[in-house]
Structure 1
């Protein structure tokens, strides 16, 4: 996929954490701290298991797996409280993401976000980084029947933007998200993230192309296909 190919699309849809913003490190820290309050260690397989789950689905998983007495709402509220400061003050854009958003906006592409995160946290980071203006639609997985890798969230964002799936390009950082975009019938660009570096081979196999950062994509306009 080249930048010329992207220019043919009417819409660009983004995952948020690990794709547009560098925040996956934060969630591992929160999981360790949260479980530590109950005297529990964070299992090594946890991040892979919850990959793509909606915020609500993740709360259900935690409650069942770790036999937590707190209500689902209390679990989610604790996570929100633990994450809001970091989202507002410590989470940056991924390299080149701001420039790429400007590039797409200048070409009148419509853009949307499809995230597994909770709405309050999404709004916090979009406002902090001053990128809300770029997105005509922001949808969380809690608003659809099933989280990633199901295609529901990407199909909803496309429908809300008034475009067909084949007219969309998706940017994602983990296999479950890439599969969600592909299952929705969309072209998918896999984005490097340190948190998911051990999944790089799987990401390359699933996606239509792979980029290390958004600058790499912008520099591809005259150099041919991405690998």
Structure 2
């Protein structure tokens, strides 16, 4: 049994919205059409974590682009992603009600994402959910990306909550690993990765496709949770 969390920390992409297919598609087109690559869908998907500059470095090596070129490619990719995804932009089923209930119960909540501020603003403002969050940590706010715990630790610090009392919502193994490294439990949304891909982690409380699972209503009512 663990005590009910005092605060919630959300990744965005693949966790609050089911958009990772659109990120992968945008990168694949840039890699292949603009940068002369020949990458398959699965090859691109394997790199879909961390900062945009780190994605470019993992795929093309650290010497291929200048910092200015990485920034330019990053913005170009995000503009392409936003244009294609905007008509589909929506919270995962059940999440709108969960956020509202947590907000009414005055449970502190934060965004902690490897996305740049440009993309976080795109989600929060188009869905009108910014008011739910006491803290927002983006790729622009940290030096070290997930699985390093800096992103989640900074979110906890901004909320003034002990990390061990925070519950993280994630969708990728590297993100759940970052939660573990921050001494936080995690819930995994299986939008992009399967349950067995998280077998090496011992901090996962629950897996679900979306937020309609009864686990989430219990999370807001029960004083303790089964681990």
Offset of residue 103 of structure 1: 1.6
Question: Which residue of structure 2 lines up, in the alignment, with residue 98 of structure 1?
Answer: 96
Question: Which residue of structure 1 lines up, in the alignment, with residue 77 of structure 2?
Answer: 79
Give yes or no for contact 2:98–2:217 (8 Å, CA) kept in 1. Answer: no
Question: Which residue of structure 2 lines up, in the alignment, with residue 20 of structure 1?
Answer: 16
Q: Name the SS of the counterpart of 2:92 in structure 1.
A: coil
Question: Which residue of structure 2 lines up, in the alignment, with residue 88 of structure 1?
Answer: 86
Please, which of 125, 149, 157 is the counterpart of residue 155 of structure 2?
157
Deviating more after overlay: 201-210 vs 129-138: 201-210
Give yes or no for contact 2:24–2:44 (8 Å, CA) kept in 1. Answer: no
Question: Which residue of structure 1 lines up, in the alignment, with residue 26 of structure 2?
Answer: 30
* Offset from partner CA, 1:40-62 (integer Å, 9 cap, x none): 222433322x3431233223334
What are the ranges of 5 or more consecutive residues in structure 2 without an aligned counterpart? Answer: none
What are the ranges of 5 or more consecutive residues in structure 1 without an aligned counterpart? Answer: none
* Offset from partner CA, 1:52-108 (integer Å, 9 cap, x none): 312332233345279468811221121122122235332221111111101211110
Give the TM-score, by structure 2 length. Answer: 0.85
Offset of residue 126 of structure 1: 1.1
Give the TM-score, by structure 1 length. Answer: 0.85
Question: In structure 2, what is the Cα distance between the partners aligned to 1:20 and 1:58?
Answer: 21
Give yes or no for contact 2:142–2:151 (8 Å, CA) kept in 1. Answer: yes
CA RMSD of aligned residues (A): 2.7
2:57 aligned with 1:60, yes or no? yes
Please, which of 136, 152, 169 is the counterpart of residue 138 of structure 1?
136
Q: Name the SS of the counterpart of 2:146 in structure 1.
A: coil
Please, which of 210, 213, 221 is the counterpart of residue 210 of structure 2?
213
2:184 aligned with 1:202, yes or no? no
Offset of residue 118 of structure 1: 1.2
Give yes or no for contact 1:14–1:112 (8 Å, CA) kept in 2. Answer: yes
Are the structure 2 counterparts of residues 174 and 147 from structure 1 closer, same or farther at C-alpha, using a change threshold of 3 Å? same
Question: In structure 1, what is the Cα distance between the partners aligned to 2:100 and 2:226?
Answer: 21
Question: In structure 2, what is the Cα distance between the partners aligned to 1:41 and 1:128?
Answer: 34
